[in-house]
């Protein structure tokens, strides 16, 4: 299976599920603030575990998609540079769009923001994926959910360095993250290093390890995948871990079990009746993740003005609105922007050369 880069439907479904976990968390927070009046600290905090699933998936996908790249020779540098450009094209344009959209809304209607303001230096750091102290006193970008992208960009940079050096991916990433972690521990006054010195960074390596196992060892059957998936879900959500529990040891390991289970379940998942539609929702998960920060507060406020007070009804209606808005964002914004920047950075794709005409009749599907 070396060099396998095909899409895993189960992982795509997980991307959507992870995005919706974060969405549900923010819906409960918005309901607490605007419907119940209990403030922003009362919400379903376990929804944040969707981020941990995202990070494990990211490590898995990066390792799988680069497994066939050359490990030696001058092509390594070119491969690393292409890898980094592709990740920037995939992540940056849509994030910049929604960040600037928030800035425009704050400047036009500052009363809409509960705890946000715009400072040029902080905005620049946000757009460049540099952790910085926000005007509201937290190490967050202008678009707060973008804090996860700061970790993603660190992982991409380290992974690209491993490609450029031809180094073993797991050991190199582990050593690099370890150095960052130690630097943050010994230099606590550095905002950037202190931000990165969190055990959550090691979750990317769990995904890389899953890819390594898939590429070099025999894959167990779907029943083993079902067991791993169930164990991961139970380990993630049944115990009350609390804020003092280490995130990597709890949600991170649970996320790894869930992703591993999804990979092993692939023979069943790919044959599921709704597999293609759920895979589309996975494609739209990034748009859902970024756009929901606008849809959730607006949706809850609109339903409040309409007199809706039932939390379940609000949650279902706003959740559906988030999915619809995210899919529209994916089709109308994300895909066109990604295609535009791909053409700008990589050039127009070359048309395949038509095969020579022969007298043999081809059979469709063969």
Does the pLDDT of residue 93 top 80, yes or no?
yes
Task: For residues 282 and 180, give the distance between their C-alpha atoms in angstroms, rounded to a whole number.
Answer: 31
Round to whole Å and give the CA distance between 300 and 280. Answer: 26
Report the distance separating Cα 78 and Cα 212, nearest Å: 23
Answer whether residue 358 shows pLDDT above 50: no
Distance CA 161, CA 154 (A): 11
Mean of pLDDT values over 165-186: 94
Please give the pLDDT value at position 363.
Answer: 35
Residue 152 to residue 160: CA distance in whole angstroms: 12
Cα-trace Rg, the chain:
22
- HSE-CB of 334 using CA atoms within 13 angstroms: 21
Spatial distance between the Cα atoms of 142 and 102, rounded to a whole number of angstroms: 8
Does residue 330 surpass a pLDDT of 80? yes
Contact 40, 34 (CB under 8 A): no
Mutual orientation of helices 75-108 and 285-305 as an angle, nearest 10°? 10
- Has residue 354 got a pLDDT over 60? no
Other CB atoms within 10 Å distance of the CB of residue 298: 15
Of all residues in the chain, what percent carry a pLDDT higher than 70? 92
Q: Exposure of 207 by Cβ count < 10 A (0-12 exposed, 13-18 middle, 19+ buried)? A: buried
**Number of Cβ within a 10 Å radius of residue 238:** 9
CB-based burial, 247-282: b 16+ in 10 Å, e otherwise = bbebbbbbbbbbbbbbbbbbebbeeeeebeebbbbb
Task: Give the per-residue pLDDT at 57.
Answer: 98
CA angle 101/313/38 to nearest 5° reads: 70
Query: Confidence band (pLDDT; 50, 70, 90) for 347?
Result: confident
What is the mean predicted confidence (pLDDT) over 25-30?
A: 97
**Residues facing 284 on adjacent strands:** none
Tell me: pLDDT of 113 over 70: no
Q: What pLDDT was estimated at residue 200? A: 97
From the centroid of its chain, how far is CA 346?
A: 24
CB 57 within 8 A of CB 18: yes
> What does the pLDDT read at residue 112?
62
Q: How far apart are CA 224 and CA 220, in angstroms?
A: 6
| pLDDT for residue 205 is more than 50 | yes
Mean pLDDT, the chain, whole residue set: 90
> In which band, very low, low, confident or very high, does the pLDDT at 350 lie, cut at 50, 70 and 90?
low
Q: What is the pLDDT of residue 312?
A: 96
pTM of this prediction? 0.92
- For residue 139, the cross-strand partners are 133
Residues 295-323 have a mean pLDDT of 96
Q: In this predicted structure, which of 102-116, 172-186, 263-277, 304-318 has the lowest mean pLDDT?
A: 102-116
- Look at residue 178 in the predicted model and tell me its pLDDT: 96
- Compute the residue count for the chain: 366
pLDDT at 238: 96
**Given the structure tokens 């609390």, which residue do they identify?**
242
pLDDT-based confidence at 276, cuts 50/70/90? confident
DSSP 257: H
Looking up tokens 């529209």, which residue turns up?
328
Distance between CA atoms of residues 16 and 69, nearest Å? 28
d(CA 218, CA 362): 35
Confidence of residue 69 (pLDDT cuts 50, 70, 90): confident
The pair of structure tokens assigned to 113 is: 């923001």
| The pLDDT of residue 182 is above 50 | yes
What letter does residue 221 receive in the DSSP assignment? P
- For residues 328 and 289, the answer to whether their CB atoms sit within 8 Å is no
Rounded to 5 degrees, φ, ψ at 139 are: -80, 85
Structural tokens at position 348: 């127009």
Region 276-295: what's the mean pLDDT? 95
Q: What is the percent of the chain where pLDDT is above 90?
A: 80
**What does the alpha-carbon distance between residue 214 and residue 65 come to, in Å, rounded to a whole number?**
13
pLDDT of residue 280: 94
């Amino acid at each position: 299976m070396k060099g396998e880069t095909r899409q895993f439907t189960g992982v795509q479904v997980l991307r959507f599920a992870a995005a919706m976990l974060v969405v549900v968390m923010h819906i409960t927070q918005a309901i607490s603030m605007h419907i119940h009046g209990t403030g922003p600290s009362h919400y379903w905090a376990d929804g944040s575990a969707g981020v941990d699933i995202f990070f494990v998936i990211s490590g898995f996908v990066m390792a799988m998609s680069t497994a066939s790249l050359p490990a030696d020779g001058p092509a390594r540098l070119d491969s690393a540079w292409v890898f980094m450009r592709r990740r920037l094209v995939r992540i940056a344009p849509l994030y910049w769009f929604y960040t600037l959209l928030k800035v425009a809304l704050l400047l036009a209607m500052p009363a809409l923001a509960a705890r946000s303001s715009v400072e040029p230096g902080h905005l620049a750091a946000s757009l460049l994926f540099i952790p910085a102290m926000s005007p509201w006193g937290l190490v967050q970008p202008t678009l707060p959910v973008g804090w996860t992208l700061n970790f993603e960009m660190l992982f991409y940079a380290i992974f690209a360095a491993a490609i450029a050096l031809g180094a073993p991916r797991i050991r190199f990433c582990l050593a690099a993250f370890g150095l960052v972690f130690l630097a943050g521990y010994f230099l606590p006054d550095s905002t950037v290093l202190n931000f990165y010195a969190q055990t959550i960074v090691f979750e990317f390596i769990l995904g890389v390890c899953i890819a390594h196992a898939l590429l070099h060892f025999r894959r167990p059957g779907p029943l083993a995948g079902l067991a791993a998936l169930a164990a991961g879900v139970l380990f993630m959500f049944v115990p009350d871990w609390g804020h003092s529990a280490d995130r990597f040891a709890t949600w991170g390991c649970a996320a790894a079990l869930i992703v591993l289970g999804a990979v092993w379940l692939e023979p069943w998942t790919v044959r599921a009746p709704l597999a293609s539609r759920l895979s589309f929702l996975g494609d739209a998960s990034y748009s859902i993740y970024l756009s929901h920060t606008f849809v959730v507060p607006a949706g809850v406020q609109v339903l409040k003005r309409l007199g809706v007070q039932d939390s379940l009804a609000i949650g279902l209606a706003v959740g559906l609105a988030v999915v619809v808005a995210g899919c529209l964002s994916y089709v109308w914004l994300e895909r066109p922007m990604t295609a535009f920047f791909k053409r700008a950075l990589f050039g127009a794709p070359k048309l395949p050369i038509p095969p020579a005409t022969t007298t043999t009749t081809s059979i469709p599907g063969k």
